[in-house]
């Protein structure tokens, strides 16, 4: 017997129909749907409870930037019996929501916790996957569904001399909840969404906070507010319609992408329009115009407005120029890197106890016992070092679980040769009956998480239903079809400004990782329509049947490519 959760014993080996790796939104959505198919599923989860990213991320200020009511699953028996307290829920409340999902859906009975997967092997003869964990679990299934998370594998940059530092070092993704920064000298490396949330808390608590960054984030106003039970109850009757409309939208929120250019109309009209979206909060400002992602002049219009609004919140000086650079020093095109949501970030940065250092201008020479030594000879004493240095996005969790293709080659090696590849963002060649959710080459980074997760979970379970009814033994995308999909994603991005900015959206945050566009640019509705056409006709797949017959359809349908 193997032990999970420190006390509960589970069989050394389990045979099921579907093995799901990960117990966040993706794993829960998949478990819920495969049960409805009448299949026997099992989740293997490395943590000790449900939540995925919200189980692991407990740093100060951690909260979602997808707004209520859209950051939840479209499951009536769950949403009719849970009320959120804020427009943008924090990590504590999101774990309460996960506990509610577990209670209502009885998820725990089909889940093994503290089960860190380190080996996944395919048996061609039996047509089954065998998955093993560090803790000694073993399970086999016909289908393997990877729900391992978009931002899970923590990235630790190699800083010279870091091993010499005697203070505390904590990555944002592995935060001790009892840690206090009160009265401490804190250094925070990073200026992305996580760093923004941490700054808003630590700046109010620490004696000194030093932010070390290379590029500022273009933050948008969150416009956070409290919700009451009456408001929750009043909206619950509309949830199903709102969620369905979200699936028909670009990013998962049922608001239109405005069909107007940033270069049309008078400056006064544009200003009034942007001001209206700005005061609404959330990501609506990102959808102001239809050409800011493809036209440099249009992009400049929206950056100018953002810069003016942001700079007005800080005192004149070097910090303001670093955080909200003037238009002629725009660090990168607006919207080509994630725009975090903030509440009082710029006021916090502007405090006297907060310093900002540009790491490209003042490089770290080494870490010493008591802090950081810079190349100009200056030293900064530090008690606590926070690494908000991000994640090996899209692929990091998949390439570190011992996943091997039908020839026994680890996916880490497969993807090292030519970069990340997938077919329709849910399958990859050489890995039969293996699917992934919240994945590369889908609209993942540009979407509300639960919306794209439920879209992919629906498509995968519908595809599995078709395979089962046709008595298929295995399905595997072809290499030509996979190349076509990767080329499609690249071609779509080539018409935009995204390739001009390296970020975790392109893998550019990890040294040595191939820089490539990893997000499908046309939004959820177009993505699902294209994928449905592919999956319904089994185009671009090799299908082997239980009676020994084989069907090979080399390429994805040309009309799907043309539609995109």
Structure confidence by residue, pLDDT tens digits, 461-497: 999 999 999 999 999 999 999 999 999 999 999 999 9
Residue 58 in domain: no
Distances (CA, A) of 67 to 82, 150, 286, 448: 16, 19, 14, 9
For the segment 278-299, the average pLDDT, to the nearest whole number, is: 94
Residue 371: cis peptide before it, omega within 30 degrees of 0:
no
- Average pLDDT value over all residues in the chain: 93
Residues 304 and 331 in one domain: yes
Find out whether 134 and 3 touch, Cβ atoms under 8 Å.
Answer: no
Residue 84 in domain: no
Whether the per-residue pLDDT at 501 is higher than 60: the answer is yes
CATH at residue 381: 3.50.50.60
- Residue ranges making up the domain that contains 367: 162-387
Tell me the three-class secondary structure of 409-468, residue by residue: CEHHHHHHCCCCCCECCCECCCCCCEEECCCCCECHHHCCHHHHHHHHHHHHHHHHHHHH
CA-closest candidate to residue 221, choices 293, 276, 299: 276
CA angle 534–536–539, rounded 5-degree value: 40
Residue 131 in domain: yes
Residue 213 tokens read as 């960054």
Query: Which long-range contacts link 233-237 to residues 24+ away (Cβ below 8 Å)?
Result: 233/83, 235/69, 236/79, 236/80
Whether the CA torsion 55, 56, 58, 61 is positive or negative: it is: negative
Find out whether 129 and 144 touch, Cβ atoms under 8 Å.
Answer: yes
Q: Please, which pLDDT band fits residue 332 given cuts at 50, 70 and 90?
A: very high
Upper half-sphere CA count for residue 490 (Cβ side, 13 Å): 12
How many C-beta atoms lie closer than 10 Å to residue 174's C-beta? Answer: 12
pLDDT at position 11 is: 64
The residue whose two tokens read 């909060």 is: 281
Residues 422 and 461 in one domain: yes
Find out whether 4 and 115 touch, Cβ atoms under 8 Å.
Answer: yes
Least confident of 425-434, 482-491, 506-515: 506-515
pLDDT at position 560 is: 60
What stretch of H or E contains 118?
A: strand 117-123
Q: What's the length of the chain?
A: 564
How many C-beta atoms lie closer than 10 Å to residue 308's C-beta? Answer: 13
The residue whose two tokens read 């408001």 is: 231
Structure confidence by residue, pLDDT tens digits, 231-279: 999 999 999 999 999 999 999 999 876 778 999 999 999 999 999 999 9
Q: Please, which pLDDT band fits residue 6 given cuts at 50, 70 and 90?
A: very low
Find out whether 186 and 387 touch, Cβ atoms under 8 Å.
Answer: no
Residues 143 and 177 in one domain: no
CA-closest candidate to residue 459, choices 23, 30, 10, 8: 30
Burial class (CB in 10 A: 0-12, 13-18, 19+), 352: exposed
pLDDT at position 559 is: 58
Whether the per-residue pLDDT at 217 is higher than 60: the answer is yes
Structure confidence by residue, pLDDT tens digits, 132-160: 999 999 999 999 999 998 877 788 888 99
Whether the per-residue pLDDT at 70 is higher than 90: the answer is yes
Residues 226 and 327 in one domain: yes
CA-closest candidate to residue 387, choices 164, 170, 160, 151: 170
For the segment 170-193, the average pLDDT, to the nearest whole number, is: 93
Whether the per-residue pLDDT at 540 is higher than 60: the answer is yes
Structure confidence by residue, pLDDT tens digits, 343-369: 999 999 999 999 999 999 999 999 999
pLDDT at position 155 is: 84
Helix (H, G, I), strand (E, B) or coil at 246: helix
How many C-beta atoms lie closer than 10 Å to residue 110's C-beta? Answer: 17
Overall domain count for the chain: 2
Least confident of 429-443, 485-499, 514-528, 546-560: 546-560
Residues 120 and 33 in one domain: yes
CA-closest candidate to residue 532, choices 424, 447, 454, 427: 424
Helix (H, G, I), strand (E, B) or coil at 301: helix
Rounded Cα gap, residues 106 and 535, in angstroms: 31
Structure confidence by residue, pLDDT tens digits, 19-52: 999 999 999 999 999 999 999 999 999 999 999 9
- Of the three residues 324, 356, 387, the one that is the final residue of a domain is 387
More confident residue, 513 or 520: 520
Residues 137 and 205 in one domain: no
Q: State the angle between helix axes of 267-280 and 296-311 in degrees (0 to 180), rounded to the nearest 10.
A: 60
Residue 67 in domain: no
Residues 338 and 446 in one domain: no
Residue 88 in domain: no
Distances (CA, A) of 554 to 156, 355, 427, 560: 40, 57, 15, 14
Q: Please, which pLDDT band fits residue 3 given cuts at 50, 70 and 90?
A: very low
Residues 316 and 437 in one domain: no
Residue 556 in domain: yes
Residues 142 and 285 in one domain: no
Q: Where are the beta strands (DSSP E) in 441-554?
A: 472-477, 541-545, 550-552
Residue 74 in domain: no
- Of the three residues 354, 372, 387, the one that is the final residue of a domain is 387
Q: Please, which pLDDT band fits residue 561 given cuts at 50, 70 and 90?
A: low
Burial class (CB in 10 A: 0-12, 13-18, 19+), 407: exposed
Upper half-sphere CA count for residue 106 (Cβ side, 13 Å): 3
pLDDT at position 4 is: 46
Residues 383 and 407 in one domain: no
What stretch of H or E contains 356?
A: strand 354-358
- Of the three residues 352, 387, 422, the one that is the final residue of a domain is 387
Residues 401 and 381 in one domain: no
pLDDT at position 8 is: 43
For the segment 326-342, the average pLDDT, to the nearest whole number, is: 96
Q: State the angle between helix axes of 239-247 and 523-536 in degrees (0 to 180), rounded to the nearest 10.
A: 70
Residue 278 tokens read as 């700005």
Residues 280 and 266 in one domain: yes
Structure confidence by residue, pLDDT tens digits, 187-201: 999 999 999 999 999
For 482-500, give one letter per residue: b (16+ CB within 10 A) or e. bbbbbebbeebbeebbbee
Whether the per-residue pLDDT at 562 is higher than 70: the answer is no
For the segment 379-404, the average pLDDT, to the nearest whole number, is: 91
Rounded Cα gap, residues 264 and 266, in angstroms: 7
How many C-beta atoms lie closer than 10 Å to residue 180's C-beta? Answer: 11
More confident residue, 155 or 317: 317
CA angle 389–522–197, rounded 5-degree value: 25
Residue 357 in domain: yes
Rounded Cα gap, residues 440 and 423, in angstroms: 10
């Amino acid at each position: 017997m193997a032990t999970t959760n420190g006390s509960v014993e589970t069989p050394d080996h389990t045979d099921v129909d579907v093995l799901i790796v990960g117990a966040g939104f993706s794993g829960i959505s998949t478990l819920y749907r495969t049960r409805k198919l009448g299949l026997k599923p099992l989740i293997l989860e490395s943590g000790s409870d449900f939540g995925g990213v919200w189980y692991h991320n407990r740093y100060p200020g951690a909260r979602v930037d997808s707004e209520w009511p859209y950051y939840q699953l479209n499951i009536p028996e769950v949403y009719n019996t849970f009320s959120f307290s804020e427009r943008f829920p924090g990590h504590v409340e999101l774990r309460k929501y996960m506990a509610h999902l577990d209670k209502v859906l009885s998820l725990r009975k089909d889940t093994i916790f503290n089960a860190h997967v380190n080996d996944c092997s395919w048996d061609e003869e039996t047509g089954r996957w065998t998955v093993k964990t560090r803790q000694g679990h073993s399970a086999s299934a016909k289908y393997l569904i990877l729900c391992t998370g978009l931002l899970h594998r923590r990235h630790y940059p190699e800083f010279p001399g870091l091993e010499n530092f005697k203070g505390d070092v904590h990555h944002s993704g592995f935060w001790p909840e009892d840690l206090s920064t009160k009265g401490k000298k804190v250094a925070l490396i990073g200026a992305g969404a996580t760093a923004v949330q941490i700054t808003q808390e630590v700046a109010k608590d620490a004696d000194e906070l030093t932010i070390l960054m290379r590029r500022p984030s273009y933050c948008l106003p969150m416009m956070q507010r409290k919700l009451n039970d009456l408001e929750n109850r009043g909206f619950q009757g509309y949830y199903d319609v709102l969620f369905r409309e979200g699936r028909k939208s670009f990013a998962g929120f049922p608001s239109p992408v405005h069909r107007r250019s940033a270069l049309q109309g008078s400056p006064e009209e544009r200003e009034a329009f942007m001001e209206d979206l700005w005061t609404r909060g959330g990501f609506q400002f990102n959808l102001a115009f239809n050409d800011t992602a493809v036209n440099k002049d249009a992009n400049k219009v929206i950056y100018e407005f953002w810069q003016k609004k942001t700079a007005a919140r800080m005192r004149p000086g070097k910090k303001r120029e670093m955080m909200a650079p003037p238009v002629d020093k725009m660090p990168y095109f607006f919207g080509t890197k994630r725009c975090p949501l903030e509440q009082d970030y710029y006021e916090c940065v502007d405090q006297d106890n907060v310093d900002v250092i540009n790491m490209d201008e003042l490089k770290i020479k080494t870490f010493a016992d008591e802090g950081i030594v810079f190349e100009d000879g200056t030293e900064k004493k530090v008690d606590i070092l926070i690494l908000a240095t991000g994640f090996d996005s899209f692929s990091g969790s998949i390439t570190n679980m011992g996943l091997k293709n039908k020839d026994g080659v680890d996916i880490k090696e497969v993807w090292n040769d030519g970069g990340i590849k997938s077919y329709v963002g849910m399958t990859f060649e050489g890995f039969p009956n293996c699917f992934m959710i919240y994945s590369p080459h889908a609209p993942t980074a540009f979407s509300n998480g639960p919306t794209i997760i439920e879209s992919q979970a629906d498509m995968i379970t519908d595809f599995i239903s078709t395979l089962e009814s046709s008595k298929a033994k295995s399905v595997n995308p072809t290499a030509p079809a996979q190349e076509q999909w990767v080329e499609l994603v690249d071609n779509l991005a080539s018409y935009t400004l995204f390739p001009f900015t390296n970020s975790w959206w392109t893998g550019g945050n990890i040294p040595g990782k191939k820089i490539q566009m990893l997000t499908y640019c046309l939004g959820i509705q177009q993505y699902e329509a294209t994928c449905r056409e592919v999956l319904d006709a089994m185009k671009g797949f090799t299908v082997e049947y239980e009676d020994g017959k084989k069907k090979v359809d080399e390429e994805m349908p040309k009309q799907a490519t043309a539609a995109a």
